[in-house]
């Protein structure tokens, strides 16, 4: 009988990339703490670095950067080192925007355990915005990003390659 380990590994990777919300939901539903920690460690070590690198590679593409800069955003990508569990390493995008000659910046962080752990938003610099309004805006950005990632695919029938791509790409 053939060794099915490479196929299982590939299918697990594709599930993490294609249906991240379902994988996160499964991880969060685990009652066995040892199993959940093992899964988190395994994903952070073997899959997250590749997934995070691909996310940042797509952000660095000229079309993506051009689109963001046309919107008036200044984007900096700060990519951390190797993935370790318990928060040591993560990768972040810093988005800056100028309003009335005052810079505003937020950090969008992908934890080392992404996609099993969600994207985190943090404020870096605000200007001319009351604190409560700024916090509300940051929470709104967090919810928008989380919902876009979580609801990319509602059902298995929607989990199909993007136009022009194949299952193998």
The helix (run of H) or strand (run of E) holding residue 125 is: strand 120-125
Question: In this predicted model, what pLDDT tens digit does every residue of 41-80 receive, in sequence order?
Answer: 999 999 999 998 888 888 888 888 888 777 777 788 876 5
Q: 83 CB contacts (<8 Å, ≥6 apart)?
A: 44, 45, 48, 49, 52, 89, 112, 113
Domain-wise residue ranges, the chain: 5-158
- The pLDDT of residue 169 is 40
The three-state secondary structure class of 45 is helix
Tell me: the pLDDT tens digits for 3-55?
A: 889 999 999 999 999 998 899 999 999 999 999 999 999 999 999 999 988 88
Q: 80-133, pLDDT tens digit by residue?
A: 544 444 444 558 888 887 766 777 788 888 888 989 998 888 877 777 777 787
How does DSSP classify residue 115? T
């Amino acid at each position: 009988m053939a060794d099915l380990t490479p196929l299982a590994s590939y299918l697990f990777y594709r599930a993490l990339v294609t249906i991240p919300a379902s994988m996160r939901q499964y991880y969060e539903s685990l009652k066995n703490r040892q199993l959940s920690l093992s899964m988190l460690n395994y994903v952070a070590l073997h899959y997250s670095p590749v997934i995070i690198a691909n996310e940042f590679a797509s952000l660095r593409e000229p079309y993506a950067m051009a689109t963001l800069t046309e919107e008036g955003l200044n984007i900096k990508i700060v990519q951390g080192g190797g993935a370790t569990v318990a928060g040591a390493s993560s990768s972040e995008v810093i988005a800056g925007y100028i309003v009335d000659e005052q810079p505003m910046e937020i950090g969008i962080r992908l934890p080392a355990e992404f996609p099993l752990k969600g994207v985190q938003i943090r404020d870096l610099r605000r200007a001319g915005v009351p604190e409560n309004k700024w916090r509300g805006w940051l929470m709104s950005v967090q919810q928008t990003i989380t919902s876009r990632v979580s609801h990319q695919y509602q059902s298995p029938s929607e989990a199909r390659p993007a136009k022009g791509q194949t299952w193998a790409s």
